[in-house]
Amino acid sequence: MESGLVRGTIVNTKIPILCVIGVIVGGILFFLFTREEKEEFQLVPQQMPKNVVEETAIAGTEVGTGWSISENPRKAVREAVNMALRGKSQKSPDFAVIYASSGSDVDSILSIAKQLLGEDTKIFGGTSDSRAVMTDKGFVKVAERGYRFAEMQGRRGLAIMTVTSKHIIFGVSSANLSDFSSAQEMSKSAVVSAIESAGKTDDEPPTVVLLSTTIGIEEEVLEGVEEVLGKDAIVLGGTVGGPAIAVFGENEVYSEGVSLAVIYTDLPVGWTFEGGFDVTDKHTGIVTKTEGQAIVEIDNRPALEVYNEWLGGEIETLYKQVGKPDVIRDLLTLHPLYRKYTSRDGEDYFLFSHPWPRDDQMKDKAVSTSTKIKAGERVYLSRGTWETLINRVGNLPRNAKNQGNIGADVRPILGIGFICGGVMGVIPETEREKLSYLINYANNSAPFITNFTWGEQGYFPGVGCKHGNLLTSFLVIGRKDTKE
């Protein structure tokens, strides 16, 4: 009788238990479908099944990434290199990309990296914006504020990618601007030396060129590259991030100069160079006076007055309400000026420039841009949102793979990116860590590295190589059998 009672009690209690489970499941589903829109960006790193990773590996090719936030350069380099080379058979890789947050002891970092990696490892890179570096292992947050306001913040970040491959040939070179009569001559010399470093000749154009340059000489550097390689050379790069800027040479660090890498491979290569802004705004004008990288007049009127009018007085309002130049500069990231270029095939490309008041007190009515816009050129107003920009960054590997006819579901060998520090800066701090998750998702968790730049260079097909702001680029290299 007791046993029957017990059995009956168990059966009867199943009903309320099932009800409770139903309520819980219903609550979870309700939460998933009614949460705020911003929650859509809460992704987690994609975990690749072991068999998928093995299938996408290539014999004779090893790629790794590592990072560190140690302020001690020896410890930082050791931590990042050990992480990148963990499990690798080759401890002296063919090629290394190194990005150190602005303010780091870059001289020590280069010296120690050469000691640990070996003298034969070819190094490319430079400084990243003081606020972050990034790899597939995550967004490495460093300083709280950007631009010159980061100078007194002591935190440091370091990211490294190592590559060994019998299917890819690398050549590197660097040059110090003070050793040449012009930035054009400097970059021409660097290109020739990089080709020689790869064991190639001038009549063997590289598959792609990676570029890191210091600020203020970008257009001239690209002119020099095109003089050697022609207007159809695929160049992807960025102005090294600051406020303390530097590029890595073979044995030295240069505060004014260029670091350059050439890549030769018969593996499928895909790339993208793009912005992420709405270009339907009707405001436009002709630049009538410039000074260096500043626009002084638009349509023969003070440039800042014109720009402020186009934005409905928003700049003056921001100045009165916020007052902090770096905050104003970040907010104006969402209202860039742009120039339009049309290719030989009739394709339109948009080259954005990040404008901000040259004078923090706004008494000087010129607009700085970090690009050299010429008098007579037409500029247009564009608009954007941080949500659009973060999604655009997340789609970089997908767009690069599409350009190279590499299947969307394919896991590349590697990815190398350049992301504008201004784009990163306008994304809320709570959302920035999702940048690596989004790229991993689109890149099938392949190793990647990016720095956050103060200007971006890239190739517009049928137009040539251009320098702009608030842009992003990404390179992927796949396997021979990964084309669609």
pLDDT 10s digit of each residue in the chain, 484 long?
333 333 333 334 444 444 444 444 444 444 443 443 333 333 333 344 333 333 446 778 999 999 999 999 999 999 999 999 999 998 999 999 999 999 999 999 999 999 999 999 999 999 999 899 999 999 999 876 555 544 545 678 999 999 999 999 999 999 999 999 999 999 999 999 999 999 999 899 999 999 999 999 999 999 999 999 999 999 999 999 999 999 998 889 999 999 999 999 999 999 999 999 999 999 999 999 999 999 999 999 999 999 999 999 988 888 888 877 777 777 789 999 999 999 999 999 999 999 999 988 888 999 999 999 999 999 999 999 999 999 999 999 999 999 999 999 999 999 999 999 999 999 999 999 999 999 999 999 999 999 999 999 999 999 999 999 999 999 999 987 655 4
Domain boundary (341, 366, 383) is at: 383
Q: How many CB atoms lie within 10 A of CB 332?
A: 22
75 and 212 assigned to the same domain? yes
Domain boundary (349, 367, 383) is at: 383
Per-residue pLDDT of 374-384, as tens digits, reads 999 999 999 99
Q: How many CB atoms lie within 10 A of CB 316?
A: 14
Query: Residue 353 contacts by C-beta under 8 Å, 6 or more apart in sequence?
Result: 336, 337, 338, 339, 369, 370, 371, 373, 379, 468, 469, 470
Cβ atoms of 436 and 136 closer than 8 Å: yes
211 and 317 assigned to the same domain? no
The Cα 476–Cα 270 span in angstroms is 5
In a domain, 420, yes or no: yes
Residue 324: the pLDDT is 76
300 and 440 assigned to the same domain? no
Of the candidates 484, 483, 481, 477, the one whose C-alpha atom is nearest the C-alpha of residue 415 is 477
Domain boundary (327, 351, 383) is at: 383
239 and 290 assigned to the same domain? no
pTM (2 decimals)?
A: 0.86
82 and 195 assigned to the same domain? yes
225 and 338 assigned to the same domain? no
Cβ atoms of 388 and 430 closer than 8 Å: no
78 and 159 assigned to the same domain? yes
212-242 b/e (C-beta count within 10 Å ≥ 16 → b): bbbbbbbbbbbbbbbebbeeebbbbbbbbbb
378 and 425 assigned to the same domain? no
Burial (CB count <10 Å: 0-12, 13-18, 19+), residue 354: buried
Cβ atoms of 354 and 364 closer than 8 Å: no
Cβ atoms of 127 and 100 closer than 8 Å: yes
- The four Cα atoms 177, 178, 182, 186 give a dihedral, to 10 degrees, of -40
Q: What is the count of structural domains for the chain? A: 2
Please provide the DSSP assignment of 354-415 as one string.
--EESSTTS-S--EE-SS-PPTT-EEEE-B--HHHHHHHHHTHHHHHHHHTTB-TT---SEE
Q: Which domain holds residue 343?
A: 284-383
328 and 189 assigned to the same domain? no
410 and 377 assigned to the same domain? no
Per-residue pLDDT of 244-272, as tens digits, reads 999 998 889 999 999 999 999 999 999 99
3-class DSSP state of 112: helix
Burial (CB count <10 Å: 0-12, 13-18, 19+), residue 48: middle
In a domain, 159, yes or no: yes
In a domain, 193, yes or no: yes
In a domain, 449, yes or no: yes
421 and 439 assigned to the same domain? yes
329 and 457 assigned to the same domain? no
In a domain, 32, yes or no: no
